[in-house]
Structure 1
Amino acid sequence: MTLTITAEPTLIEQDSNGVVRVAKTRITLDTVVTAFLEGCTAEEIAQQYPSLQLSDIYLVIGYYLRHTEEVNTYLAQRQREATQIQQEAEKRFNPIGVRDRLLARRNQSQ
């Protein structure tokens, strides 16, 4: 029997918003890499995200290990964008006292 060696396709793709996802899922590269960096095994990641195939998780982790610098740069950029969005949202909608305001509205309507 002869083993046929073929290149595996890259299972990550960038969506229209620039977010890198595991192909054909809604799971982001950030999610898989962060779980891996926090010490989760591929099997644990598969349990947390059943839409991912175990073999795909290993391919994504392998991609990360081969492209660590680029992926870390991408992750840092995503974190900066998330922080900026959160700050803008907090400027528009002050989170301090939200619970009290909601309770006051509920009490007024009763």
Structure 2
Amino acid sequence: MSVVTAKSYVEYRQDAYWVAGTRISLDSIVYAFRKGLSPESIVNSFPLLTLEQVYGAIAFYLANRAEIDAYLVAEEAAFDAMPQPLQTADPALYNKLKTAKATRQQVDS
């Protein structure tokens, strides 16, 4: 009988959490999960991920919820504190990002 070892579904690199072996952030999965999307719906939104990877990322989040929630709050605060040259360089994109953030915050509340 072979021994099964645990897989790692999330990795920390470049000062952020990512689905292991991908360029998809854990943030993206967590925000979708918080919105109430099912793992199957999340896979539809991120077709490069497998259902196993999504469940693994959600399990990682649930096992480390306090730490990841604190990480997400810190990331949002850092983003809010950044100077926004995009506001003058590309006002349409800046407004789109602000609207998306406000919408996300309403859903999370």
- TM-score band, normalised by the shorter chain? 0.7 to 0.9
Q: TM-score, normalised by structure 1?
A: 0.72
Residues in 2 aligned to 1:5 and 1:46: alpha-carbon distance in whole angstroms: 29
**SS of corresponding position for 2:36:** coil
Task: Give, in angstroms, the shift of residue 8 of structure 1.
Answer: 2.2
% identical equivalent positions = 26
Unaligned 5+ segments in structure 2 are 93-109
Distance (whole Å) between structure 2 residues aligned to residue 93 and residue 48 of structure 1: 28
1:5 Cα shift? 6.6
Q: Which entry has the higher C-alpha Rg, 1 or 2? A: 1
Aligned residues: 92
Could you say which residue in structure 1 is the equivalent of 2:101? none
Give the equivalent residue in structure 2 for 1:70.
67
Structure 1 unaligned blocks of 5 or more: 100-110
| Correspondence for 1:80 among 71, 77, 100 | 77
Q: TM-score, normalised to structure 2's length?
A: 0.72
**Does structure 1 residue 58 correspond to structure 2 residue 43?**
no
Q: What is the root-mean-square deviation in Å for CA atoms of aligned residues?
A: 2.4
Asked if the contact 2:39/2:55 (under 8 Å) is kept, the reply is: yes
Which SS does the other structure have where 2:84 is aligned? helix
